Amino acid sequence: MSYENKLKKLTITGAIIDFIVWISAFIIISALVVWLVNVFLPKFNIDLQIYILYINVTLTLIFGYFLISSFANIMYAFMKKKYSEDVAKPIRNVFLIIGVGALLTVIAGEVGGGLAGVSVGGFLGIVIGYATQQTLGQAVAGLFLMFSKALKHGELVTLTGDTGIVTDVGILFTEITKDDNTIVLIPNNTLIGNKIYKLPKKDNQNNKST
């Protein structure tokens, strides 16, 4: 079964259990690594203390990603129950983007250590935030459009000067098809705060006839 199909069959209970399992696995394996490095291996004159930082970073990176993914799946399962699949998947992607950014900042803090870690982590957080500012802005705007149902599939609308039929309201772009079959992808953040013209049905029919 593909990951896409598994995601569609995901339940809230299953997502929460998966999240708890990953947390438990992270705690157990981290404790086991500490015991091996500090207690067991020294008995055989094997010293891995100099590598403990790299081991911790590796564990944080691996388990951190799965924890973020599991939490995003929980949000997906909640949203899918209340809203449609088209709304739930973008929300999951937004949480993944934010979570991965936070994870990289935490890892930078571990590597730098102390004040240097805070500085590096803060700098990396600013860089990630700046790099994803437009994407996250579009994603948040897309979620707002989906929740408010301001645009519906099949409506004849005028958006930012372009008139056409709404064919898709995605997480980043709203897609409309014009009379000449030109497809226009409009960034969602440009729609928030701007006027949305919805043409009445009679105008829609007149446009088709002409």
Spell out the domains of the chain, with CATH numbers in brackets: 3-148 (no CATH), 156-209 (2.30.30.60)
CA-nearest of 21, 7, 149 to 76 is: 7
**pLDDT, tens digit, for every residue of 103-127?**
877 777 666 655 545 555 555 556 5
For residue 83, what is the DSSP state? S
Mean pLDDT, to the nearest integer, of 80-88? 73
For 118, residues 6+ apart whose C-beta sits below 8 A from its C-beta are: 109, 112
What pTM does this model have? 0.62
Q: Is the pLDDT of residue 17 over 90?
A: yes
Q: Which amino acid is at 95?
A: F
> How far is it, in rounded angstroms, from Cα 159 to Cα 203?
16
CA-nearest of 166, 201, 5 to 85 is: 5
Q: Is the pLDDT of residue 3 over 60?
A: yes
What percentage of residues in the chain have a pLDDT greater than 90?
A: 27
**pLDDT, tens digit, for every residue of 138-188?**
777 777 787 777 888 889 999 988 999 999 887 778 899 998 999 999 988
